Amino acid sequence: MKRLLKGGRVIDPANGLDGEFDVLIDGDRIARVGKGLPIDGAEVVEIPAGFLVTPGLIDIHVHLREPGQEHKETVATGTASAVAGGFTAVACMPNTSPVNDNANVTSFILGKAAEANLARVYPIGAVSRGQKGELLADIAELHKAGCVAITDDGHPTATALLLRRALEYAGMLGIPVIEHCEDTSLKGDGVAHEGFHAAALGLRGIPGACEAMGVERGILMAELTNSHFHVAHMSARASIRGVRKAKEAGISVSCEVAPHHFTLTDEALGTPIPYDTNTKMNPPLREAADRDAMIRGIQDGTVDVIATDHAPHHLDEKNVEFDRAPFGIVGLETCVPLTFDRLVHTGIIGLRRMVELLSLNPSRILHVPGGTLSVGAAADISILAPDLAVRIDARALRSKSKNTPFDGWEMRGGVAATIVGGRPVYVNPAAGVAL
């Protein structure tokens, strides 16, 4: 069947488009993009004025928890959360149980994704077998089974030597190594950013240098191996400085920032709810100078991608003493509102840059389809409502877990609908797009 999206503001940076265009979808592909396209038997979808039609958003840092931790999230609930957040594709981290370090696990995840039939799922394989930091996982086999990158996320790659080998080997396959940058000796048993607020609350600190050490190590290994190194969930100003210098030096490095790191600071540890375990994540919420450095990096192009680090945890796991709670928050359904509210409406970035950060650059870094509305490309499309009044209700999240610090937040900008392969997989009843 054919669908004609009529009247939206199309933003497609890869093709240099920003303006009112119609988009014709034929089956699962984009057939035409242009002004005043003929209806020609297509079902017409009127896009309200001011709404955006963008290439499908891609979140390259998501924990779907399946297999092994289905009480937190499954591929089905995680992808339901993704499409409700405007994402047409997610890349999922390998720290499942068992670890995604072999083709069987990769195939299992892809099978679950096909069953769920919502967002596209791109598994990310482990660097090391069992993520134990000793022997390399079967990386070529993982790649063949569908993995688009490798990482030992949750932890840094154990040694510089192993990271070097992983980069060399991944380079042969043309896939990036994604690194959770952290010097574990500096981290110790820290649970919050080392600063005034952790000191006041008596929480053990994790300094920003702890992350920057990992960033610098990775940059040096990327230079040594001439392979692509991607910095996950960056939070510290020294890390941004390192990436900026590395890019100037022509080293193949990219990086991502999570919405909570461009929105919140460590002040949230103590207020409004003291010791709220939904303010505990790794890397931690840092001080204002770090948060501001993330925003500047997003603005000046140092940051390539906004990725959520969606990390679902069960209520029982979070309802404990702060130092005993697991790190992480859910992020898929709060990313678009936070990006609009904190970055776009504040004038920090324009809409074109937003689409680069959330769609084009993610597709380029992982070499996955999407990121554009080119004719012939898969019809993965996000319809966004920049002025929609959004109120976050943790209990209403599609994710199986509700661990968000943004419960009750009111923001401007949200998701109207999500289309994957020409098929509407999410329609927000509050936005008024009839799909």
Positions in the binding site for other proteins (CB under 8 A):
188, 194-196, 198-205, 273-275, 316, 319-324
Q: Does the N-terminal peptide bond of residue 67 adopt cis geometry, omega within 30 degrees of 0? A: yes
Strand segments (E) across 285-359: 305-306
- 113 or 269: whose CB is closer to other proteins? 269
Q: Does the N-terminal peptide bond of residue 386 adopt cis geometry, omega within 30 degrees of 0? A: no
Q: Do 204 and 190 touch, CB atoms closer than 8 A?
A: yes
- 201 or 348: whose CB is closer to other proteins? 201
Q: Does the N-terminal peptide bond of residue 283 adopt cis geometry, omega within 30 degrees of 0? A: yes
Closest to 415 measured CA to CA, from 358, 308, 309, 333: 333
User: Least CB distance from residue 198 to other proteins, whole Å?
Assistant: 7
Active site residue 341: no
- 144 or 204: whose CB is closer to other proteins? 204
- DSSP H helices in 64-150: 75-84, 103-116, 139-145
Q: Do 61 and 91 touch, CB atoms closer than 8 A?
A: yes
- 39 or 196: whose CB is closer to other proteins? 196
Residue 347, C-beta contacts closer than 8 angstroms, at least 6 positions apart? none
User: Least CB distance from residue 185 to other proteins, whole Å?
Assistant: 10
How far is Cα 14 from Cα 145, in angstroms, rounded to an integer?
28
User: Least CB distance from residue 290 to other proteins, whole Å?
Assistant: 13
Helix (DSSP H) and strand (DSSP E) numbers for the chain = 14, 21
User: Least CB distance from residue 334 to other proteins, whole Å?
Assistant: 23
- 39 or 289: whose CB is closer to other proteins? 289
Q: Do 298 and 359 touch, CB atoms closer than 8 A?
A: no
Edge-first strand listing for the sheet containing 120-123 = 57-62, 87-92, 120-123
Edge-first strand listing for the sheet containing 381-391 = 17-20, 9-12, 52-55, 381-391, 410-420, 423-427
User: Least CB distance from residue 116 to other proteins, whole Å?
Assistant: 32
Tokens 């920057």 — which residue?
212
- 130 or 327: whose CB is closer to other proteins? 327
Closest to 405 measured CA to CA, from 274, 317, 251: 274
- 125 or 284: whose CB is closer to other proteins? 284
The one catalytic residue in 152, 183, 304, 309 is 309
First CA to last CA across the chain, in angstroms?
13
Structure token pair of residue 209: 């240098």
CB atoms within 10 A of CB 430: 13
How far is Cα 430 from Cα 327, in angstroms, rounded to an integer?
32
Q: Do 168 and 227 touch, CB atoms closer than 8 A?
A: yes
- 248 or 321: whose CB is closer to other proteins? 321
User: Least CB distance from residue 326 to other proteins, whole Å?
Assistant: 14
User: Least CB distance from residue 247 to other proteins, whole Å?
Assistant: 30
How far is Cα 337 from Cα 414, in angstroms, rounded to an integer?
5
Q: Do 4 and 24 touch, CB atoms closer than 8 A?
A: yes
Kindly write down the DSSP assignment for every residue of 320-371, as one continuous string: S-GGGSPS----TTTHHHHHIIIIITTTSS-HHHHHIIIIIHHHHHHT-S-S
User: Least CB distance from residue 202 to other proteins, whole Å?
Assistant: 3
Residues annotated as catalytic are: 309
